[in-house]
Chain A
Amino acid sequence: MKYTPTVGEILQAKGVSRRGFLKYCATTASLLALPPSMIPRIAEAIENARRPSVIWLSFQECTGCTESLTRSASPTVEGLIFDAISLDYHHTLQAAAGEQAEAARHAAMEENDGNYLVLVDGSIPMGNPGYSTIAGISNYDMLMDTVKGAAAVVAIGSCAAFGGLPGANPNPTGAVAVQDLVKDKPVINVPGCPPIPMVMTAVLTQFLTFGKIPDLDKHGRPLAFFGNTIHDRCYRRPFYEQGKFAESFDDEGAKAGWCLYKLGCKGPTTYNACATVKWNSGTSFPIESGHPCLGCSEPRFWDKGGFYQPLSTGHFGSGATVAGAAAAGVALGVVAAAAGRRRQNKFTKEA
């Protein structure tokens, strides 16, 4: 069996100083929503972690998830993570094609049996295997064959996590999610259309650092990123509490940055980290740009009424859900901060 270097050895070979490494660990703790007191533990774990093999399968998808990850404009930290994994198979990124590519997948599976990670983007068509094939292999057969020796499976994007656009009504290909098929391996869902790149890399880092899957919610999403609603962490929430709403995209309320609830914002029922992690290197997120949240990280979000219908008139949730969300947090971030601290405390105690 070939020697697998530790991440510490890889970083050392790249000339990364201890100070640089500590900086990397501090950023990682921040990514994982862990308290800064965990930085020494993270440093020790990452230093000694072995470079894991990753096989990335793309099925019924638009490549938006890969674009999100590879176009994220913060290559240093995320780049280090990808230096620290061995991406052994990825249709879009690998140079090999056809039989050579499939041979690479099988070689990675054999060499790392029981220890490799499988990342999947796209849903799996069950209506007719011919709807989507790779090297003449149906998506279903490739998925089930590849996950056999995997340590865990990460469903990247809403298509892999929940069926996504291919699974939207009338679902012509009979698209299903990874978790509908894989029952004997841990499945981590990282939904979003696309998911936030830092969330994708943070999930990989967490596995790399602690060798276990993160705490998940009822939809299989990591609680560190999907534990609060967009509304919980939205900087416009005080306007919601004050009853100040934009009524159209060009009225005085919109110009003043008031709450977008009446313009169809799905923030109150959508769990994701956009409001804090943000997009485009932390520049902003849709609500900050004046557009309501579409709820893209929630199951079946395509089929839950119009994007511009307020929640109270759409099918996203009942009025009681929204009223409950409003009552739960009177001041900006109070509930969210408390929940975050609870999670941090829990993690610190477990560590």
Chain B
Amino acid sequence: MSQGDEIPVQVEAMHGNVRPILNEVMHALDKLLEAGITTTIDLASLPFAPGELDELEATFGKGELSAKLDALGTSRIRETTYPGVWWIEHRNAHDEVVGRYLEVTRLPDILSSQDADIMAGRARLGEQFE
């Protein structure tokens, strides 16, 4: 039996969604620089044609910094080749993508240590040494 990728289907190329997103990101960068306003674009809400998401990811590329978060599955938080533009991908425990975002910010919130976790960690440390 043939594997799915052996079936000779050639999908005609379309690039309807990539350019508007690049425009939106450009305006978001202006807002970040001028007023410090951050923007998040939820990529799951857009109707991408096959291949368009890969094209978008390739267009943004990989920048200087990337981080891996292990919480309810793995998340990858990566600055793109455009500083201030972050590609964020959340996966569940089965390594399936459950959310994909472009965040235009100086540092995504999820990278900062959270007060609730700091307090819980402080309590654990206290139990161990006090």
Residues of A within 8 A of B (CB): 16-20, 22-24, 26-27, 29-30, 33, 35-37, 73-77, 80, 233-236, 238-239, 255-258, 275-277, 281-282, 288, 290, 331-333, 336-337, 340
Contacts and interface: CB of A to CB of B under 8 A. Distances in A.
Contacts, number: 114
A191 B92 CA distance: 26
B114 A331 contact: no
A255 B63 CA distance: 37
Given A73-B94, A76-B92, A331-B16, A27 B47 contact: no
B68 to A, nearest CB: 12
Which 6 pairs between the two chains have the least Cβ-Cβ distance?
A20-B71, A36-B40, A18-B114, A76-B92, A235-B49, A257-B11
B14 interface: yes
Nearest to A28: B99
12 contacts: A19-B114, A23-B110, A26-B99, A233-B47, A235-B48, A235-B52, A238-B14, A257-B12, A282-B96, A331-B16, A333-B47, A337-B46
A134 B19 CA distance: 56
The DSSP consensus for interface residues of chain A is helix
B47 A336 contact: yes
A288 B12 CA distance: 13
Interface string B35-77: 0000011101111111010000000000000000101110100
A202 B16 CA distance: 29
A30 B44 contact: yes
Contact of A238 (B16, B48, B99, B117): B16
Contact of B101 (A18, A22, A26): A26
B10 interface: yes
Contacts of A275: 47
Interface of B: 8-12, 14, 16-17, 40-42, 44-50, 52, 69, 71-73, 75, 90, 92-94, 96-99, 101, 109-110, 114-117
Given A23-B72, A27-B90, A37 B40 contact: yes
Contacts of B115: 18
Given A30-B42, A74-B96, A234-B47, A16 B12 contact: no
By CB atoms of chain A within 10 A, which of B9, B72, B97, B109 has the most?
B72
A23 B76 CA distance: 12
Contact of B14 (A19, A73, A235): A235
B97 A282 contact: yes
Contacts of A333: 16-17, 46-47
B10 to A, nearest CB: 6
B71 A74 contact: no
Nearest to A275: B47
Contact of B10 (A33, A239, A255, A332): A255
Contacts of A255: 8-10
Contact of B72 (A24, A73, A234, A239): A24
Nearest to A76: B92
A176 B115 CA distance: 53
B117 A18 contact: yes
Nearest to A14: B72
A16 B97 CA distance: 19
Contacts of A277: 44
Contacts of B8: 255
A20 B45 contact: no
A30 B92 contact: no
Nearest to B92: A76
A6 to B, nearest CB: 14
A295 B117 CA distance: 47
B16 A332 contact: yes
Given A235-B14, A331-B16, A22 B75 contact: no
